[in-house]
Amino acid sequence: MSTPMPLEGRGLAIFVISAIFMFITIVTVSLRCFVRSFIVRAFGWDDVLMLVALALFIVLAICCMIGTANGVGHTNIQFAELASTEVFVRALMWWWLSQVFYIWASGVAKVSIAVALLRLTVKKVHRIILWGTISLTIIIGLIFWLVLLFECHPISFFWTQVDGKHTGSCLPVKALLDVAYVYSAFTIVCDFTLGFLPIFLVWELQMNRRTKTAVGGILSLGAIASVAVIIRLPFLHHYADTNFLYSTYQIAIWTIIETGLGITAGSLITLRPLFRWLLDGSMSYGRNGRTPERSSGRYRLSSFKHDGAKHSQDPNLWRPDTDANTKTLVEIASSPRSQVSIDANSSQEALNPGPNQSGQRSGGVTVERSFVQVVSEREL
């Protein structure tokens, strides 16, 4: 592939990092969608948001790769050796577009992780923290996006100012630097919040300590992206360098890594059921291809020694649309040989072909639902 500028040095590093993380994010998000659609069967808004983040990140990575082919990572002297400034103009344009897509790809990924954690929240204070994180992410992203959008007037003057043929104005570089530092600071706060809050959420679940540690560690992967933001901080001052496309390559690299890690970590926290599925060979919780022995009597569903039952407390199965103050107890009575009478006014359902002549149902399974409403002291 012929490029206006040789793909080497810093430009090559940006290209390779972009390609690697684009591949990793596509794989992890695809696995996430498989788990949520076919294993857990609970595809939600957090999954939709992560797909949007992936789409935005792919565009970001492509912009970076095209930008390197047009000179991102090269010095002003190398551009001056060309016959015209057209390549320099295109390189600046692709750099600017990369920044715009970075803001939204990173922000949407954080919102997706926060929405996923909302399913685990029981306490009101935790929900307030998560909604606050979502709001803060959207607000700072919108502010930084508007600053980039109106940094120069007209917008195109950001990349056309180098050809000397266009007129316009841009904000002082110091103003852009201040916004970049503030944005990075709030981003770190949001990432650490999404990383440490799961520890408190999982600690209150009815799990053994080993399971809590494993689940909490997995859910805290969302904080990994903050490492890239912290590493990028010392390089932000290069925004003011005159050798702009050459000096800011570290900013470009850590921007890609930050967003890629956020999307990857946000998808990895949903893959725990995949490993159980690979071990069990079952396509969904509660189904595993093995038929339990039929017996008569009355049991709670949780009393069956069934592989699907051990997943009943898996957080991935929790429904966000279920009232947290309502608990449901499901009981089952099965009788392959005897007859089971069904009270028409009860909450029983018989799973068999149909009633016999005496109005009784024989064989099959009878499911009885008992509902227990828990009322807090405030409601008494």
- Give pLDDT tens digits along the chain (380 positions): 446 778 888 999 999 999 999 999 999 999 999 998 888 888 889 899 999 999 999 999 999 999 999 989 998 888 888 877 889 999 999 999 999 999 999 999 999 999 988 988 888 999 999 999 999 999 999 999 999 999 999 999 999 988 878 888 999 988 889 999 999 999 999 988 988 888 877 776 666 777 777 777 776 776 778 889 999 999 999 988 889 999 999 999 999 999 999 999 888 888 878 877 877 765 544 444 433 344 444 444 444 444 444 444 544 444 444 444 444 444 444 444 444 444 444 444 444 445 555 555 445 555 545 444 443 333 33
User: CA distances (Å), 140 to each of 83, 104, 167, 279, in order?
Assistant: 41, 11, 30, 43
pLDDT for residue 222: 67
Query: Rounded to an integer, what distance in angstroms lies between the CA atom of residue 202 and that of residue 221?
Result: 14
Query: Rounded to an integer, what distance in angstroms lies between the CA atom of residue 80 and that of residue 83?
Result: 8
Sorted by sequence, the CB contacts under 8 Å of residue 44 that are 6+ apart come out as: 36, 115, 116, 119, 320
Cβ atoms 195, 220 nearer than 8 A: yes
The DSSP 8-state label assigned to residue 220 in this structure reads G
Query: Rounded to an integer, what distance in angstroms lies between the CA atom of residue 134 and that of residue 132?
Result: 5
Domains and their CATH numbers in the chain: 9-270 (1.20.1070), 297-379 (no CATH)
- State the sign of the Cα–Cα–Cα–Cα dihedral 5, 7, 8, 14: positive
Q: Residues 349, 371, 44, CA angle at the centre, nearest 5°?
A: 90
pLDDT for residue 186: 94
- Please state the separation of Cα 219 from the chain's center in Å: 11
Q: 331 pairs with which residues across the strands? A: 300, 368
pLDDT for residue 298: 45
Query: Rounded to an integer, what distance in angstroms lies between the CA atom of residue 371 and that of residue 373?
Result: 6
pLDDT for residue 299: 43
pLDDT for residue 112: 93
Token digits for 18?
């972009």
Token pair 């956020």: residue: 262
